[in-house]
Amino acid sequence: MRKIASLFTMLMLVTAFAFAQNRTITGTVTDEKGDALPGASVRIKGTRTGVAADNNGQFRIQAKTGDILLVSGAGIEVTESTVGSGNTIQITVKRAVSVGTEVVVTALGITRQKKELGYSTAKVSGAELTKAKSVNVANGLQGKVSGLNITSVNNGVFEDVKINLRGIRSLLGGNNPMLLLDGVPMGIGYLSSLNPNDIEDVNVLKGTSAAAIYGPDAVNGVIVVTTKKEK
């Protein structure tokens, strides 16, 4: 009886010792659809030991039973998986859902997030311009941008307009903002001849800081108009 107890104790010690030793764990990282995730980072939690999955999403790492593997990477959620008694492991991770961040078109079609800009901006979509059945873009912008004042000079179909952002800055010089149509500077009066149905969106850059991008002509702000492109 003592011999059996001794053998059982030895077996338990050997098993525990074996489980406490690092061994080669082979694994695969895939997404919910079963597609391999090449380049995913696989690291043992609480250590600096880690590897990267190959082009087939496969990896090899020295770990022991009970170790927690952390899987991370661009476009995926951080996932934990515990190493079992086997030498292979399959890890399924979720694709990270990216939340759209509103961007603003600045110079030469370059886009920036609003928080990256040092000046106030406003964006008006094409749908907003056409909501009130406006006959031109100038009328469509009326009342949709704070600080933007549009005054009609005549009552024609292509009426001339005067526009200023955040009040009149000069009693002698012009107060109209700069108009940029698909990256090309145009006279501000051209707004009254643009069909709102042809517009993708309008970005209004307020304040004198816009002059740092477009030069002195933009000291009164900039109206960036982007037309719809053929799809």
Tell me, what's the pLDDT at 87? 92
* Burial of residue 120, with CB atoms counted within 10 A of its CB: 0-12 exposed, 13-18 middle, 19 or more buried: middle
168 and 65, same domain (yes or no)? no
Number of domains the chain is built from: 2
Phi, psi of 150 (to 5 degrees): -115, 125
Residues 110 and 218 in one domain: yes
CA–CA gap between residue 128 and residue 204 (Å, rounded): 14
Mean pLDDT, 10 residues at a time, the chain of 231 residues: 57 52 91 87 89 90 92 86 92 73 47 48 81 80 77 60 61 70 80 86 75 71 81 48
User: What token pair was written down for 109?
Assistant: 């079609």
Per-residue pLDDT, 127: 85
pLDDT of residue 135: 80
Looking at the structure, do residues 141 and 220 belong to the same domain, yes or no? yes
Tell me: do 112 and 196 sit in the same domain: yes
What is the model's pLDDT at position 189? 78
- Out of 60, 92, 124, pick the residue that ends a domain: 92
pLDDT at 83: 93
Please tell me the predicted confidence (pLDDT) of residue 4.
62
pLDDT for 153: 64
Residue 97 counted as domain residue: no
Structural domain including 28 reads: 20-92
Examine residue 98 and state whether it is found in any structural domain, yes or no: no
CATH code of the domain containing 66:
2.60.40.1120
pLDDT, residue 68, reads 93
* Residue 10 belongs to a domain: no
Written as one letter, the residue type at 211 is A
125 belongs to a structural domain: yes
Residues 55, 137 share a domain: no
Predicted TM-score (pTM) of this structure: 0.46
Of 92, 113, 132, which closes a domain? 92
Q: Please give the pLDDT value at position 71.
A: 92
